[in-house]
Amino acid sequence: MTKMYLIVNLVAGKAMIKEYLGDIINEFTKNGYEVTVHPTQSSEDAAESANYACENNYDILVCAGGDGTLSQCLQGIMKSNRKIPIGYIPAGSTNDFAKSLDIPKGTMEAVQWIINGHPADCDVGCFNDSYFMYIAAFGAFTNITYETPQQIKNILGHAAYILNGLMQITNIRSKRMRIEYNDNVIEDDFIFGMVTNTASVAGLLSMNDFMLDDGIFEVILIKKPANLVQLQRIVHSLLNIKEEIDRDYIKFFRTDKIKFTCLDEEPATWTRDGEYGGDAMKCVISNNQKAVSFMICDCDETKFSRDEVINFEISDDK
């Protein structure tokens, strides 16, 4: 039998996963899996449990929870010499990375996705001595995902992030940053910056033309606006990113490695995969190409480059 280690965050999203837990275990068991279930006990518990699964000869790790739980599982897997495939049952408030993999929203549909799927390699971001799956970001609104109380997220879903963001819009502060990538150096005041490998950010911002295994990140940097009118232009450009971006304030490029140095007296606060990522004066982010594999089924193959590495940028370096 295939040995499965199932990590479950019982309070993720609207805490609905507990209602499906029996059906999940039954469905996997019927399809030849020997299932060991571990409900998470703390924010770091998923990382320790994922590492345990790798080191104790399990064949597959399944994470039932939100992107934060998945990111914690990733920490444990990346610190093991034996990396096993990951199945993801999205149960959080936004489930951004699940959108990138085209995983069905329904719990039991996601279970079938794993059962009928096959492993596909995905890139993993290295953030100093930690890892992230789909985003590392600093600046405006990045604290919303981890400071919004779980009870409010459960009730309001995406609206919780929007409302919490609106409360902060008049209190946006910039950071003076030196940013180095691809032999380029930028030094400016930025209110926001993110390094991503995803189709969606916070369930709102959609990214285009990305690949999950090409070894390349998409980077967006937002310069400090002079007034609220400029800020509104920036927000409109981001929410309509399929249109031409506002190059006066927004820089967009691709790279496999980038270094951020905060030139202010206080460090920049970062988020990784929607969780608090720490405060840092310096941060080096690099791409570990095809470092882990996820179970996919009938996924949009254009999101996987397979063997071709694309290395280009589309920014105006002014």
User: Catalytic positions, please?
Assistant: 275
- Whether 111 contacts 89, CB under 8 Å: yes
Structure tokens at 282: 């310096």
**Do the strands 205-206 and 200-201 form a parallel or antiparallel pair, or are they unpaired?**
antiparallel
3-class secondary structure, 31 = coil
Contact 274, 146 (CB under 8 A): yes
Closest CA to 312 of 252, 270, 269, 268: 252
Closest CA to 90 of 166, 149, 14, 198: 14
Considering only CA atoms, which of 147, 99, 132 is closest in space to residue 296? 99
CA distance linking residue 133 with residue 124, whole number of Å: 5
Q: What is the DSSP letter of 10?
A: T
For helices 67-78 and 45-55, give the axis angle rounded to 10 degrees: 40
CA proximity to 271, closest of 75, 137, 72, 161: 137
Q: What residues pair up with 279 in beta bridges, in sequence order?
A: 269
